[in-house]
Amino acid sequence: MILKSQVEWALHCCAILAGLPDGSYLSTKALAELHGLPKEYLSKALQSLSQASLVETTLGPSGGYRLARPSSEISFLDIVEAVEGKARSFTCTNIRENNPCRPAGYCDSKPCAVARVMWEADEAWRNTLRRVRLSDLVDTLSEEVPPDIWRSTFEWVLKRAG
């Protein structure tokens, strides 16, 4: 069980978009250069964010992406699910139905106890991600990233934002 690397990309890109001034956009090209990522493939991740209505886009020169909502109203889970999908990590294939001792046509009243535990763990994972807002991440980063790097990064970004 491994998450796509696109998850890391999308989270970092959203953190950058959260720091943009209102009304300006940042292009895939800039985000790819900033993070050293393949532009074409990063574009797929950003499209996922767009389809999930987490970001808005505009075309043409000075076009690109911006957040569709304030960063305090976007959770880690929103971003992770946009890229990774909302499907649960554990899928029950109902192997209990193959038990040869079962009467034919017997129908279970509940989902399997095994699956319920696995789904509970999945929910715990999602709840953790649900509780962390994008704005929390930006707060943490602005504390931890050395001020000169933080500043020069946003100068770099603003130079390319439309």
Q: Based on the number of CB atoms within 10 Å of its own CB, is 152 exposed (0-12), middle (13-18) or buried (19 or more)?
A: exposed
End-to-end alpha carbon distance in the chain:
39
Under the binding rule (CB under 6 A), the answer on residue 34 touching ligand FES is no
Q: Which does 52 bind (CB under 5 to 8 A by kind): DNA, ligand FES, a second copy, none?
A: none
Nearest CA among 142, 98, 92 for reference residue 112: 92
Calpha distance 59→23 (Å, rounded):
14
Q: Which does 86 bind (CB under 5 to 8 A by kind): a second copy, DNA, ligand FES, none?
A: none
Name the 3-class secondary structure at 23.
coil
Contact region for ligand FES (CB under 6 A) — 37-45, 51-59, 79-87, 108-116? Answer: 108-116
> Using CB under 7 A, which residues numbered 9 to 68 contact DNA?
27-29, 38-41, 43-44, 46-47, 50-51, 57-65
Under the binding rule (CB under 7 A), the answer on residue 152 touching DNA is no
> Using CB under 6 A, which residues numbered 88 to 107 contact ligand FES?
92-96
The residue (of 58 and 142) whose beta carbon lies closer to DNA is: 58
Give the nearest distance from C-beta 113 to ligand FES in angstroms. 7
Q: Based on the number of CB atoms within 10 Å of its own CB, is 26 exposed (0-12), middle (13-18) or buried (19 or more)?
A: buried
Calpha distance 151→52 (Å, rounded):
30
Under the binding rule (CB under 7 A), the answer on residue 94 touching DNA is no
Q: Which residues bind a second copy (CB under 8 A)?
A: 1-5, 7-9, 11-12, 15, 33-37, 76, 84, 87, 89-93, 95-103, 106, 110, 113-115, 117-118, 120-122, 124-129, 132, 137, 140-141, 144, 146, 149, 152-153, 155-156
